[in-house]
Amino acid sequence: MTANTVVGVPTETAAGERRVALVPKVVEKLRSRGLDVVVEPGAATAALIPDDAYTAAGATLGDPWQADLVVKVAAPTADEAAKLRRGASLIGFLAPLTAPAGISALREAGVTGYAVESIPRISRAQSMDALSSQANVAGYRAALLAAEHLTRFFPMLTTAAGTVPPAKVLVLGVGVAGLQALATARRLGARTTGYDVRPEVAEQVRSVGAQWLDLGIEAGGSGGYARTLTDAEREEQQHQLGKAIGGFDAVITTAQVPGRTAPRLVTAEAVRGMRPGGVVVDLAGESGGNCELSEPGGTVVAHDVTVTAPLNLPATMPEHASELYARNVLALIELLVDDSGALRPDFADEIVRGACVTGEGE
């Protein structure tokens, strides 16, 4: 009798990382498919999920690193990669474009790695789109941070002492995170406006009740991302944005291009032009930042404007971020196993092929 495929869930060790790759509800679904699940004791403590919840769902507690398939959130460290057995598979945010040394370590270890950020952005893969699920969390948190740091109310208030106008919020880069930031800021009562170089997202901006800022610069690219602007386009964009930003109380930036430095959208001069007490929330800190004054992972005050560039916002909401990520991982695992639960990836499938960044030493 063939042994069941074993899925391992280790503790995340990256600084500030509170998420876990699988939650008990997903463990139950994997067990129903005939897979065994081994969870490292305390793996979800930071996400406030006790070990008992995993054992009740059918998992066992133990060493996850010798499993057939190890699932993580962040890429493994060199020491963690060394714990993986040769021939094993790994799922996680493996950063193939920005951390080639980690990919090389997996290749040398004989591990088949599936990077969730490399999953093709096609309709059939939407349930596996971890970039989008975590971007939703980041966009939501960004709007809350803007409200927290702003020295003014977000909503309009009518009081006996008079009327307070609503804050004006501008979101630059309207992907999943940007749309969620717009929607959340509007729920908080702000007057919202969105900008992106991809003109096709204008309708999505309006669908969440925001206005569209049209600067006359269009740069739609492939895979849902914007192309790189020419020098002339970039100069004109910064000039136009510099004039527009001064009319907003809060600016949230989310523009990123995979594997490249984030585009510079908010200059120091633009920050200088904002009203005192304003705020810039820069979600692109990990790739250099969209704001010239951003300090990745830090908060600074310049010209009486707060500029904050938080890193890994999804980890600050570990419960729902883990739940969403676990569903993404489940959908990918279901594509990698056959009806009996055996790990048999079909590399002719464009999703499997696209996600796989190392395989059998290649």
Give 350-362 pLDDT, tens digit per residue: 999 999 999 854 5
Q: Which of 19, 54, 118, 129 is catalytic?
A: 129
Question: Strand locations in 141-295, DSSP E?
Answer: 157-159, 162-164, 168-172, 191-195, 211-212, 250-253, 279-282
Convert the pLDDT of each residue in 274-312 to its tens digit.
999 999 999 999 999 999 999 999 999 999 999 999 999
Residue from 132, 211, 234, 353 carrying the catalytic annotation: 132
**pTM recorded for the entire structure:** 0.93
For residue 68, what is the DSSP state?
Answer: S
Q: Please give the C-alpha separations between residue 297 and each of 169, 283, 284, 293, in angstroms, as whole numbers.
A: 22, 10, 10, 12
Q: What are the residues whose beta carbons fall under 8 Å from the beta carbon of 3, sequence distance 6 or more? A: none
Question: Catalytic residue at 121?
Answer: yes
pLDDT at residue number 1? 45
pLDDT value, residue 250: 98
Q: For residues 26 and 131, give the distance between their C-alpha atoms in angstroms, rounded to a whole number.
A: 19
Pick the CATH number of 133-315 from 3.30.420.40, 3.40.50.720, 3.30.460.80, 3.40.720.10: 3.40.50.720
* 129 part of the active site: yes
pLDDT of residue 281: 98
Q: Which amino acid is residue 22, in one-letter code?
A: L
Which CATH architecture describes the domain 6-118+318-358? 3-Layer(aba) Sandwich (3.40)
Active site residue 132: yes
Three-class SS state of 282: strand
Q: Is 126 among the residues known to form the active site? A: yes
Of 107, 121, 152, 234, which is the active-site residue?
A: 121
Of residues 32, 126, 207, 340, which has the active-site annotation? 126
The ranges of the chain annotated as CATH 3.40.50.720 are 6-118+318-358, 133-315
Low-confidence ranges of the chain (pLDDT < 70): 1-2, 218-228, 360-362
Residue 325: active-site member = no
pLDDT for the residue numbered 359: 82
CA distances 153 to 165, 219, 277, Å, are: 8, 35, 11
